[in-house]
Amino acid sequence: MAHREASRMSSNTAVEISLPLKFSTSRVFRRASRVSTSPSPVETYKLVGLLLPMRYHELVGVFAGLEAESSTLKKADLLAGLLSRTPPDLLKPVVYMTTGNIFPPWMNREINVGDKTVISAIVMATGATKIQVQNLLREQGDLGSVATLLLTSRAQHTLFRQELTVAHVHQTFQKIAGMDGSGSQDAKISSVAELISNARPESARYIIRTALGQLRMGVGDGIMRDAISSAFTVNKEVVEKANAVLNDYGEVAVLASRGESELTDLKLRLFRPIKVMLYPKAEKVDDALASAGQPAQFEFKYDGFRTQIHKKGEEVRIYTRRLDDITFQFPDVVTAVRRGIRAREAIIDSETIGIDPATGRWVPFQNISQRIRRKYDIEKLVQTLPVETHVFDLLFLDGRSLLDMPLAERFRRVQDVVTPDPSDGIRVAEHLVTADPAQARAFYQTALDRGLEGIMVKNLQAGYKPGQRVGLGYKVKPETETLDLVIVGADWGEGRRTSWLSSFELAVVGPDGGFLPAGKMGTGMTDSDLTNLTETLKPDITRQHGKQVQLKPRMVVEVGYQEIQKSPTYASGFALRFPRLVRIRDDRKPEDADTLDRLKTIYAKQFSRGEKP
């Protein structure tokens, strides 16, 4: 047998421990000698947790509970229990895997495994045929459930498998994510198959969902914050602030396990991007001014893409709102930062916008979005699609974090460090500080006259709150509403559009972090748009039935529409009437898309405007 049994008794409890053959029993008793000779049941349980590798099926038991539970409070309690009994060296993997990831958010890395790879792995691991797997997939609608069914039916499965540990599963997925080049596809299939072969039937469900990036159990930042706070008796605000700086709840959990003092006085780290501060929408300039506080700072809202730029000496890295590293694609911005930022170390928040080389006028985001994705002809694009960067915030300066500093002071430092020479390609965002509604309205009109989206209105005393959309500032745009939605499906076209994906299914973010369809978009797209969308989305196809395809929720698009209607057809309960493509939002992650709550809010507003519901 692959295991031998060891037993240890306390005065109150008997604990049977199954040890892998390579596990050192001398290590067990050396470690055991550090605790009392008659440990309590709780002490005994913790001892076992310290001595034995944490098994993956323990994690799966919590996954199932989280998936079944709708209460955020109970989810946090379940997760807190898991974290409190997780060995310190496994806290990072457990936190990442519970949120459906393998890496921390700031790394912005994915496993990059598709349905075809998983199907081949299931065939290799279970002995089923490809046709059998595909037929079961049509019945179950989920490859994780297919693997669970096939493993359950394998009578010999438990005789030959080796118990999966959390560490092994996490390390295997890390290796898979790094596989590239010749032979990498076969290596990925073999690695996933090895995990499936050794998994308990229910564990296979979650292994496959993790591999496909489909493990969504509604564990957002708020639940993770509360769980860490409860597990290690640390103040919630301290936990949240630590994550704002580190952008890594895995590391926060490790530090919290050592005591609250470990979470204080943390500094931002250069070249580890953090989430950007977000702002809700206000209907009117006067409303925004009244809510933000008077006086307030008004800034142009540029039609470009958010750039968080890190500088240390001559080294410069550029990150999008999605935390993608786009330094390679924008050597002109790197040069501008080297010339135009007068600081040894800095992290700046800014908007990078396109410039028409013939007229010098700003151009819409859609005109320059191709530069974000482009991997070749970079120097040519620098000439044909030039950009300039407008700085509106400073988060870190020469070794000091400025997150807690009021905006008024941070902006003064922006003005100090950004060169006054606009030819450098970087400048301070145009702004106005006023308490006068008339001046504010005039500034707004100037922004619209210059072809911009609108303005930002910010509280001068506010600190910087990464990743939060709080009432410390507002964006004001013309009343025409648009929605940022995720493409989750499509149909292959007909006639001359046979080779293109079309009729794209659009979804909002649901309460549990999943995606709820709210209509299909088939207008507002040129042939060039359809070609671009098809080429971009083809690798994200996870399933096809006839002309219909299911897509990995990855692309975000800004969508206009005539109105929102209630509808039993879509899982959101709503349908967009005549949705049309406005632009692709390369700067948005799927989780940044609009929520079901916002859809409901806009729907309700239709009545107050006297529009037909």
Residues 6 or more apart whose Cβ sits within 8 Å of residue 604: none
411-467, pLDDT tens digit by residue? 999 999 998 877 779 999 999 999 999 999 999 999 999 888 899 999 999 999 998
Parallel, antiparallel or unpaired: strands 296-301 and 454-459? antiparallel
* Mean pLDDT value of segment 344-361: 94
Q: 170 pLDDT exceeds 90?
A: yes
Query: Per mean pLDDT, which of 83-97, 467-481, 524-538 is the most reliable?
Result: 83-97
pLDDT at res. 22: 39
> Annotated catalytic residue: which of 92, 188, 275, 301?
301
Q: Which of 249, 219, 220, 246 is nearest to 234 (CA)?
A: 249
- What share of the chain has pLDDT > 70, as a percent? 89
Residues 6 or more apart whose Cβ sits within 8 Å of residue 192: 113, 117, 118, 121, 176, 207, 208, 211
List of domains in the chain: 1-39 (no CATH), 115-211 (1.10.3260.10), 281-476 (3.30.470.30), 483-608 (2.40.50.140)
Place 480 in a pLDDT band, splitting at 50, 70 and 90: low
Q: Which of 32-41, 64-73, 174-183, 593-602 has the lowest mean pLDDT?
A: 32-41
* Both structure tokens of 390: 């407008």
User: How far apart are the C-alpha atoms of 14 and 18, rounded to whole Å?
Assistant: 13
Q: 8 pLDDT exceeds 50?
A: no
DSSP secondary structure code for residue 85 in this structure: T
Q: 15 pLDDT exceeds 60?
A: no
pTM of the predicted protein model: 0.76
Q: 510 pLDDT exceeds 80?
A: yes
- If DSSP codes are grouped into helix, strand and coil, which group holds residue 323? coil
Q: 613 pLDDT exceeds 80?
A: no
* Mean pLDDT value of segment 147-155: 86
Q: 178 pLDDT exceeds 90?
A: yes
Query: Higher pLDDT residue, 22 or 351?
Result: 351
* Mean pLDDT value of segment 176-197: 94
Please report, in angstroms and rounded to a whole number, the separation of the first and last CA atoms in the chain.
Answer: 67
Mean pLDDT of the chain: 87
Q: Are 54 and 167 in contact (CB under 8 A)?
A: yes
301 is catalytic: yes
Q: 582 pLDDT exceeds 80?
A: yes
